[in-house]
Structure 1
Amino acid sequence: MGESAVGEASPLVTDPFDAVPGLAPLRAAAWDQDWAATRAFFEETPDTEADGVSFAAVLLAGVERSEWFLEKAVRERPDDPLPRTLLAERYIHLGWRARGRGPGADLSWDQAEQFQDWLRKAELLLIEVCAREPAYVPAWTARLATARGLTLGQSEARRRYDRLAEHDPHHVLAQSRLLQQLCPKWGGSWEAAHGFAQECASAAPEGSRAGVLVAEAHLEHCAELDGAQAGEYLRDVSVRDELRRAARASVLHPGHRRGWAWTDSHSTFALAFSLGGHPGDAARHFTALGDTVSESFWRNVPDWKTRFTEFRTAASATL
């Protein structure tokens, strides 16, 4: 389980660019401010990456100062949807970073203003893309994030997702973004959130990573509960069984092929099973992860790196 030669645990690999070698050229291109290399990366995205362009766009958005060369690419290629969409994802990233992770009621005026400004800039770019190329799925995926941040409501978010699903009905990143919108904290309901997650997982081909949506919905639900309720929620047998079915049909299915988001998927299942007190179920996900982990849901856990190591040790004891 990732032990070093001297018996100490190896450092956790949290950067997806390091965890997934196939993504490394994208980071190098961004560091070099190299648009040609960036475009080549996206043009060569393998067919096995159903939502790979959107996933990689989100990762690129987290590279510092990437807006510099993306803004230049937009100016030089005004009719090309790719640079506009990548720049919009960068603006979305900057907006959510300015907002912070706290509840909306706790935002300062300055935080809220910066957040809205960045998202409005992103939305303007994406409106142009979708008007010119209404079948361009990565732009609709980005517009699910702006719809939520600009509080455009459930109906508008669903309209955008439906437009996207006309062209890609199993786009997991887009489904994950709509799932967030369907949670009560963004005006939805748990019935809607869980129902959508189950609907997507059931409709997806076996071996798809879409089963992770079920785990995402349960983790979001657990996070909204207090005290003993939160502790018991993921321990519920019906929740455990839903997670088991979702994992078996997706990342644990014999037909599953690892894509760029594989650390996200296994990390989410590992956390859900671990918090629910099911180390035996978590074990296969920890085995797949080794020393890699996605922070997406784990960072919500206090002292999460220590907890990850503790949960992984408990899981390994069941093997």
Structure 2
Amino acid sequence: MSSTAPPIRAQFDPCVIIPSLADLRAAVHEHDWASVEAYFDFLDHEDDRAVAAEIFRHLGLAERFLERIVAERPSSALARTLLAIRYIGVGWGIRGAYRAKHVSRKRFEEFHEWLRRAERLLIDVCAEHPTYALAWATRLTTARGLELGQGEARRRYERLAEHHPHHISGQMQLLQHLCPKWGGSWGEAEAFARACLDSAPPGSHAGRLVAQFHLERWLGDTNYGHSDYLRPTAVRDDILAAAARSVGHPDYRPGFHWVGDHNDFAGALCLGGHHREAAPFFRTLGDKATELPWKYTGDKGIQFLKHRKTALAKG
């Protein structure tokens, strides 16, 4: 037998990173709606429900199961919202991650049709359940994909924030919408990220919005890897200050977002060459990774491991 150690790999599967999500995924594969419903009932925080719901976006053919459940339980807000999330996943898979100028008219038409299917479900859910966070947060995604404009996106966010003022998934969706690539501006995006952090309680997830803003600004200046935007010490210190008020605060509640939080901070620092400062985030993460921001500069697994190795050697 070879004594060679197995290769180190980055772990991207959310159902491995958050083991209980594997039970949720298994319930979908087994068409066990009672277990799906019980899983969401068990979660006691809207931020965690948003992460759990996100796996439906990528579950192939889950729409068939969910369509049957919606037909059987037409009043279920959860079933309709999860089906809408799956429709969005199908649509975005057709569109791809390319900038609009690289997407064909046919793909856009198919993409928009899937999003309109999702939107019709979500409109009814929000009308019947005006405080239902998962549906309002999901409507921020459809607003962006259907290009409904900044005013409509902000209106939807305000409806969400009225009852769930620090909903990080909704905040991340609106931040995307406020970036220039979706019709916004850097000033609007930065102001929103900072306002979310300033108004949030200490130890919130909102610090990652500052890291995400800087990553988006870097992307806007670069052809994936040739910008110095993240290098200045002022940007580094801003990211570290946001982390100190978020993941570094004693009141931080990790929840299901903790892996994304730490990856955003580690990535924003590493892509600016600040590997020593990124080391603590990698020590917390171990092998747990998220696609973004690592895939911005190449193979996501290789990039995560390369930057982690450099950071741990320096810090």
Whether these two folds match at TM > 0.5 is yes
In 2, the alpha carbon distance for the partners of 1:130 and 1:206 equals 30
Deviations along 1:77-129, one digit per CA (max 9) or x if unpaired, are 11111100000011111111110111111111221111001000000000111
Q: 1:120 aligns with which of 116, 121, 133?
A: 116
18 and 237 in structure 1: CA distance in 2 versus 1, 3 angstrom threshold: same
- Give 1:135's aligned residue: 131
Count of residue correspondences = 313
- Give 1:29's aligned residue: 27
In 1, the alpha carbon distance for the partners of 2:224 and 2:203 equals 35
Deviations along 1:168-223, one digit per CA (max 9) or x if unpaired, are 00000000000000000111000010110111112111111110011111111111
Alignment of 1:97-108 (within 5 A): 97-108=93-104
Q: Is the 8 Å Cα contact of residues 34 and 69 (structure 1) preserved in structure 2?
A: no
Q: TM-score, normalised by structure 1?
A: 0.94
1:205 aligned onto 2:193: no
- Give 1:172's aligned residue: 168
Q: Runs of 5+ in structure 1 lacking a partner?
A: none
- Give 2:12's aligned residue: 14
- Give 1:183's aligned residue: 179
In 2, the alpha carbon distance for the partners of 1:81 and 1:151 equals 25
Task: Identify which range, 34-43 or 19-28, moves more after superposition.
Answer: 19-28
Q: Runs of 5+ in structure 2 lacking a partner?
A: none
1:258 aligned onto 2:254: yes
Deviations along 1:216-254, one digit per CA (max 9) or x if unpaired, are 111111111136995310012221111001111111222
SS at match of 1:231: coil
- Give 1:223's aligned residue: 219
In 2, the alpha carbon distance for the partners of 1:71 and 1:240 equals 47
The AA in structure 1 aligned to 2:268 is: A
Percent of aligned positions that are identical:
47
Alignment of 1:1-319 (within 5 A): 6-7=4-5, 9-45=7-43, 47=44, 49-226=45-222, 230-319=226-315
Q: TM-score, normalised by structure 2?
A: 0.95
In 2, the alpha carbon distance for the partners of 1:27 and 1:296 equals 22
The AA in structure 2 aligned to 1:257 is: R
33 and 299 in structure 1: CA distance in 2 versus 1, 3 angstrom threshold: farther
